[in-house]
Chains A and B, each alone.
Chain A
Amino acid sequence: MKSAMMPQPYRVTARREETADTVTLDLAPLAAPLPPYAPGQFTMVYAFGVGEVPISISGGENGVITHTVRSVGAVTRAVCAARVGDTLGLRGPFGAGWGVPAPFGADLVLVAGGIGLAPLRPVLDHALRERDRYRHVLLLIGARTPGDLLYSSDHAAWARAGADVRVTVDRADRSWTGRVGLVTALFDELWLDPGRTTAYVCGPELMMRFTADALRARGIPEPAIRVSLERNMRCGVGWCGHCQLGPLLLCRDGPVVGYDHAAPLLTVKEL
């Protein structure tokens, strides 16, 4: 397991500013690449001399790993500041993913809040690559303001590729002609088939709770609602226990878990 704890050097080959505080980095290996990732897994990203942080994988192929990172602290600020040509360390990929592919003929409902769209992007990419496998592919996006929307230049292409993309923001002025409201309000426009729906939900924890409750109210069974949880991942392999959530070590047993497992844990304080 030594290699799991040893960061591998990756070079920043592309950098895109998504919003005022969020960037997307393409990272190519300078030595042996990490093993292939599954959608929903994360890596530990090391900004040399600053620290290490868990970041969900938002894409990449042929050894390249793409991360979308929001600057919220010292390490993520350093990662976001990385320029093309800079080197970062990566460990991983770690954790349990979203569990795609879903069964043939399923309806996929992806619900993303804020930066939560980044971990869901590999699921969307998979669904659009195998569009014929699924009946409906719904992508519901919530953000704080129109300026905080991730990958906004890609939304039209996703729709052309067969996704039903619906966006809502918490607040906007009259220059915004889209929806304003909580992401759960988008369910009012939809008819969901409980027997065929698999939901993938990622965002702030309270947003995921309300979303899961809204899905349950529409008959979607809890095991078919998958949420991506966030705790203080450190080692990535279930050794250190920093990311414990009740009986789960989220770096190993998560970050993606079924809502049947997550629901009893999310209302317990200090857990």
Chain B
Amino acid sequence: MMAPRDLLAEHPFLAGLEPRWLDNLAEHAHPVYRNRQHRLFAVGGSARHFWLIRSGLVVLDIHAPGRGDVVVESIGAGAVLGWSWLFSPYRWSFGAVVVEAIQAIEFEAAPVRRLMAVDPGLSAELTGRFMRVVVERLQATRVRLLDLYGFPTGAKP
């Protein structure tokens, strides 16, 4: 089995991160396997962890009265799951449940926040990487809001 440090180094989200920061982060990370239907977190819960997904699939969901659990987005291999741990009040806005068994690297959020507090370089680097993810998902969400597939463009003969 690969050590957490090696797993971190090969994950796309942390590609190119300085080795000393990988060493520091690895002290608060461990590999996990979660089976299908395992709920990683629920709406309103305390955001104590985040994950780098190595394989499998997780969906973000929310319960809508009258509609049941609605899936908002899925997170697959190569992606990072969870950013509510970065910002007070550290509570999940959506839920997350495994739909294809995952292998992931699970981080303890509080010690990572402490690392970031004492190391501005690491803080800037991690915040920048999360920012890129947030922007990409925001742009993708905006495009989905356009409902492109519902309204074909061009002539309507």
Contact = CB atoms under 8 A, between A and B. Distances in A.
A258 interface: no
A181 interface: yes
A75 interface: yes
B147 A182 contact: no
A182 B149 CA distance: 11
A173 B154 contact: no
A180 B146 contact: no
Interface residues of B, number: 35
A181 B74 contact: yes
Given A174-B68, A182-B140, A73 B156 contact: yes
B155 to A, nearest CB: 4
A143 B148 CA distance: 9
Contact of A75 (B61, B77, B154, B157): B157
Contacts, number: 108
Contacts of A231: 154-155
- The dominant DSSP class at the B interface is mixed
Contact of B144 (A178, A182, A189): A182
Contacts of B74: 168, 178-181, 185
Interface in B133-157: 137, 139-141, 143-144, 146-150, 152-157
Contacts of A113: 148-149
A189 B153 CA distance: 29
Interface stretch (A81-89, A103-111, A156-164, A201-209): A201-209
Contacts of A232: 154-155
B71 A207 contact: no
B157 A210 contact: no
Nearest to A168: B74
Contact of B143 (A74, A76, A168, A182): A182
B157 A206 contact: no
B149 A144 contact: yes
Given A52-B157, A173-B67, A204 B78 contact: no
B71 A70 contact: no
Contacts of A52: 157
Interface in A180-194: 180-182, 184-186, 188-189
A206 B71 CA distance: 23
Interface string A200-234: 00011111001000000000000000000011110
Contacts of A144: 147, 149-150
B149 A174 contact: no
B157 A74 contact: yes
Nearest to A176: B71
B153 A72 contact: no
B157 A53 contact: yes
B115 interface: no
Contact of A181 (B69, B73, B78, B157): B73
Contacts of B79: 185, 188-189
A204 B148 contact: yes
Contacts of B76: 179, 185-186, 188-189
Contacts of B140: 181-182, 184-185, 210
B154 A203 contact: no
B12 interface: yes
Contact of B152 (A115, A170, A177): A115
10 contacts: A114-B148, A170-B144, A173-B69, A174-B69, A188-B78, A189-B78, A204-B152, A204-B153, A230-B154, A231-B154
6 tightest A-B contacts by CB? A114-B149, A73-B156, A182-B140, A204-B148, A144-B149, A230-B154
Interface of A: 51-53, 70, 72-76, 113-115, 142-144, 148, 168, 170-174, 176-182, 184-186, 188-189, 203-207, 210, 230-233
